[in-house]
A and B are shown apart, each in its own frame.
Chain A
Amino acid sequence: MAHILLSTATRKPFQKEPTLPAGAQYDIAAGCWMLEGSPLVSSDALGAPSTKKNDLETGEDQKGE
């Protein structure tokens, strides 16, 4: 029988990177993603940061590397 941690784990389609709005570009000097000249995190396009990691539950502490 599968280990309990595996048999009770939640399965989702693997997504290596989050889906970003078309046109989003990372600005190394600004240290953030930009969309149409404004920070992506300040726009509605990314969605409010009301959940952990934009619904990609990978555990905290950068475990989803």
Chain B
Amino acid sequence: MKPQVLVLSGLYDFSSDIICLRLEERGIPFLRLNREQLPALKLTLDPFAPSLQVHDGERSWEIDGGLRSVFFRQPVFLRDPLSPSADLGTLLGRSQWTAFIRALTVFQHASWMNHPRETYQAEVKPYQLAIAKAVGFRVAPTLIGNDASSFGEFAPIFVVKPLDAVYLRDGDDSLFAYTTTASLADLADRLQAAPVIAQELLSPKVDIRVTVVGRSARAVRILQNGEPIEGDWRKTPKAVLQYEDWPLPPDISAACLDLTSRLGLSFGGIDLIEDARGIFFVEINPTGEWAWINSGSRHFDCLIAEWLASGGTER
């Protein structure tokens, strides 16, 4: 079989399951490769043709110039915080298979959602903020570092968030750091070891999530029992969360599309905050999640599948 769409994902990325179902419904030949399963397959990449031969013992796939698009659901930073020690074979496989996945960028003619090169740059939060401001978004005053005395301009209470995701393993536990609020006193002797992002606190506020697929942008407001949520909404019990369709103002929609265009992204999950002064940019997730807000009125799965099927020409 000659796939027209390549899905590079993980075995438990159920969002990719949904995309594969939508591609199947549209009769688009595809192949999904999960990083955990690569050692169980036989793969040969010819970087010049380019072509990729894949065998699973029963079936064969050949990816060549007929490949239209790639759905890239892979990490671009090798964080690996959860396996502090591993045997040599595991360490070797991890580094080399990760490099093999990167090597698939030899399929330059295909449209990528998103290309790892652009994802790598776009995941850098300070860079996101700079570009967002350049395209016209309001951005909360921000400083980054481990010198708490520099954050005095945000006093008395300000936002503290990680510069990169903090997802760590500690014995039988995992730790995840949410956005929090702090005072200068809270940070005394508690910042030197690692830098943070400090921002002016926007409160009261409403959280908004914009999902950009190609040139389409749709937004929801995130509420609890119909009311805005103070603090990091991800700490709110899921059962009481509501995702309400929110018509994007034309200038904000244009800024979202300008942002993804400037970042070279065909997909982006953009977090915004509305306060009394207007709409503020918070961050963009180049490989962000969308299934949690897919619904009868928001068909991100179909938009993504159609973009992939069209080779990136579906807008």
Residues of A within 8 A of B (CB): 1-18, 26, 28-33, 39-42, 46, 49-55, 57-65
Contact = CB atoms under 8 A, between A and B. Distances in A.
A-B pairs with the 6 shortest C-beta distances?
A: A31-B20, A59-B165, A31-B32, A32-B17, A49-B291, A63-B165
Interface of B: 7, 10-18, 20-21, 23-24, 30-32, 34-35, 37, 56, 59, 73-77, 79-80, 82, 119, 123, 160, 162, 164-178, 180, 182, 186-187, 189-191, 193-194, 196, 234-235, 238, 241, 269, 285-289, 291-292, 294
A61 B285 contact: yes
A10 B289 contact: no
Interface of chain A, main secondary structure: loop
A8 B180 contact: yes
Contact of B176 (A31, A40, A58): A58
Given A28-B56, A60-B288, A63-B167, A9 B177 contact: yes
B160 A30 contact: no
Contact of A28 (B24, B37, B189): B37
A1 B287 contact: no
Contact of B10 (A1, A30, A41, A65): A65
Nearest to B34: A26
A18 B15 CA distance: 14
Nearest to A16: B82
B80 A65 contact: yes
